[in-house]
Structure formats: C-alpha cells, structure tokens
Amino acid sequence: MRVELPDVSLFYDDIGEGEPVVFLHGSLCADWLTPMARELTGFRRLVIHRAGYGRSEEPTSGAGVPAQAAHCAAVLAAAGVPRAHVVGHSAGADIALRLACSRSDLAASLVLLEPALPRADDEPANPAMATAIAEARAGEWEAAFYTFLTGVCGPGVRRLLTDRLGEKGLAEAVAGSRYFFTRESAAFGGWTFGAPRTSAVQAPTLLVVGGGGDRLGTPHRARAASLAAQLPHAETLVVDDLTHAMPLEDPVLMARIVREFIARHPLSESVG
C-alpha cells in the first residue's frame, strides 16, 4: 500500500484483521519490526516504512520527529483507522511518543522498545554514535553502520541481521545508512520531550528495555527510566539478555509482550 503526501511517498503493509496495531521501526532498517509483526496474529497490522527507508522515498522537507508523526497520522487516515495501538522501536518510539502527544485521538496504547531519545541526565556515556558519525563524515558508510549497531546491539549483530533479513535485506539496510547519517540523525538530534508534553501523553505506555544493554554500556535503560518517571500511565519491562536489537533477537517474545499489553488496554476501553 502507498500514501502520497506533499513531502513524501510512503509505503506500508496492511495485513490481518482485528484491533489495529501500527509499527514504527527504528533507524537504518525498514524491517526491524517486520518479523515481530508477522508473529502478532489476530490483529490488523500496519507496518510503515518510514520516510527514507525501505520502499518509502526520502522526504523533500523535514525528516524530524514532528514530520514523521504527521506521516504516521496520514497513513492511519488513508487506511481508515481512527485509533490504533502503536509499537515503536528506537527512533520509531520517539515518533510514537510525539503522535500520542499531538494526536492523542489516534494512540490507544504505546509499546516503546528502547526509545532513542530523549537523553537522561544519569545515562552512561557510549561512544558508538559519535564514532559512527565520524566514520560517516569520512564517507565510510558501512563502517559507520556496523560501529553504531555493534555498540548498541553487540558483536553478533551482523549475523543476526543476515539471519533475519537475508543478505539482500542486510545490503539494503547498509545502503540506508547514508540517509540516516546525513539527514535523520541531525533532524532527530535536537529533539526533546519533557514537560508539558510528557503529561499530554494519556495513552497507557509500556517501555521495554533489553537487559543485555547493561553489559554494552548503552543509555537506553536510563532513558526509559527517565521517561517512565514523567509519563502519566507508564510501566517498564526489562527483558533479560536482549539488546537494542530485541525485535529481531526474539520476535516471538516481543509479539507476546505486545499482545499481553494490548489485551489489558483494548480499544473498547480506550478514550481519546
């Protein structure tokens, strides 16, 4: 399926029947959430390829969080979905937060897998992004891709991506790194989400953190804890051993987590 907007042509998959769930993937790869979405049977699943990734085009204007939240709202409107559960991973989780703040009528519940931002005051320093950006500035796109993902997902990330996405899917993800490092990372870098915006998010929210991030020194546990303390209806789940790549590491478990959370917050009990 495709939606033509003034600033971008977006692709999305629309599969299954049931309560609608929209999936917003993280950066560098359009298929972070695809295996997980396949496992979430019994629901209508809208898997969006965000602007600049997969089968969607690069935007002609803004690539930041507000613009991409508006893109998500446009996809839901085109699909005839007035309200949905929203699953976001990394940068996609930031977009989900913005959507729930600016369009609370659309977001029935949020499942946020290691939001990329906002930063936390007490988070550990992790050099992966800074090193990757330096490599990208030198035109070393593949090196930047693996430096960043190894830093937040561990040394097995190349094999994981190959196993889940295939060689072609991995090559497409590596190719997408140019867009991320030249446009999206800068557009997201200045994004903040504090009061009063946090208090405007009335959707029940589950923040999921990979326990394996602690051994890698990633900032995501601290960032999730900071968000959980500010959001009105948030809870946190730490999944042992998994990392920032959790939707690919164990898509069956991730789908079960989403299913169980949604079951506690059905659309019939949701108020926009």
pLDDT for 176 equals 85
Return the HEC string of the chain. Answer: CEEECCCCEEEEEEECCCCEEEEECCCCCCCCCHHHHHHCCCCEEEEEECCCCCCCCCCCCCCCHHHHHHHHHHHHHHCCCCCEEEEEECHHHHHHHHHHHHCCCCEEEEEEECCCCCCCCCCCCCCHHHHHHHHHHCCCHHHHHHHHHHHHHCCCHHHHHHHHHHHHHHHHHHHHHHHHHHHHHHHHHCCCCCCCHHHHCCCCEEEEEECCHHHHCCCHHHHHHHHHHHCCCEEEEEECCCCCCHHHHCHHHHHHHHHHHHHHCCHHHCCC
137 part of a folded domain? no
29 part of a folded domain? yes
pLDDT in tens, 25-40: 999 999 999 999 999 9
**Beta carbons of 54 and 117 less than 8 angstroms apart:** no
Given a cut of 70, is residue 271 above it in pLDDT?
Answer: no
pLDDT for 192 equals 86
219 part of a folded domain? yes
127 part of a folded domain? no
Residues 6+ apart with CB under 8 A from 163: none
Average pLDDT over residues 153-175: 95
pLDDT for 190 equals 79
CATH code at position 229: 3.40.50.1820
Share of the chain above pLDDT 90, in %: 94
The pLDDT mean for the chain works out to 96
pLDDT in tens, 231-251: 999 999 999 999 999 999 999
6 part of a folded domain? yes
Average pLDDT over residues 68-79: 99
208 part of a folded domain? yes
258 part of a folded domain? yes
184 part of a folded domain? no
Instruction: Kindly report which listed range (75-89, 130-144, 184-198) carries the lowest average pLDDT score.
Output: 184-198
pTM over 0.85: yes
Domain assignment of residue 210, given as a range: 2-121+192-264
pLDDT for 191 equals 86
Given a cut of 70, is residue 270 above it in pLDDT?
Answer: no
In total, how many domains does the chain have? 1
